[in-house]
Amino acid sequence: MLRFFQVYGPRQGKNRVIIQLLYSCYKNKIFPTSDGKQIRDFCYIDDAVESIFKISEQNVYGQIFNIGYGKGTSIRSLIEEIQKITKKGFPLYGKFKDRNYENLKLIPDIKKARKILNWKPTISLKLGLKKTLNYIKRYER
C-alpha cells in the first residue's frame, strides 16, 4: 500500500491548494489564505507515479509505504515561492481561521520507501511548481 502526501501537478483538480495558489498568483489576484503556518509535504505527480512502478516490481504484500518529498514546507513559504515564480499575486494572510482539528504539521517519513522500494523523489518543489505553472499557461487560460 502506498500512502501519498499532497500529490500535485498538471491536470489536478482546481480544489487543491497548489493549483488554487498557482491560479491566484498567475491571475494576479488578491486572495484570502490562512496565516500560512501549516507545514505540508508536496510530492510531484511524476515521483508519485514512479513509486507505483517501483512497488509493482516488489513482493511487499501487507506493507505500507509513505510517498512524499520527505521535507515539509509551510504554506506561507509555498505562497512566497509561487509569488517568486509568477511575480504576481497578493495573499491576505490570516483571512481563513485556523481549524482546531487540523494537524499543523504533516511530513511523511519516506525512509522505508527509499530502502525497500529503492524509490526517492527527484522533482523539487520549485521545479514541480514551474512545471505545473507551465501547464496552466499553456492549456488553462
In CATH, what number is assigned to the domain containing residue 64?
A: 3.40.50.720
Give the Cα separation of 15 and 119 in Å (integer): 28
* Total domains present in the chain: 1
The C-alpha cell that represents 73 in the structure block: 514546507
Q: Please give the grid coordinates belonging to residue 128.
A: 514541480
Domain housing 91: 2-130
Whether 135 is in a domain gets the answer: no
In a domain, 11, yes or no: yes
The reply to whether 141 falls in a domain is: no
Handedness of CA 29, 123, 72, 58 (dihedral sign): positive
Predicted local distance difference test score (pLDDT) of residue 98: 74
- Domain-located, residue 13: yes
Residue 137 lies in a domain: no
Q: What is the pLDDT of residues 66-114, one digit of tens each?
A: 999 999 999 999 999 999 999 999 999 998 877 777 788 999 999 999 9
- The pLDDT tens digits of the residues spanning 108-127 come to 999 999 999 999 999 999 99
Contact 8, 43 (CB under 8 A): yes
Q: Which among 139, 137, 138 has a CA at the least distance from the CA of 22?
A: 137
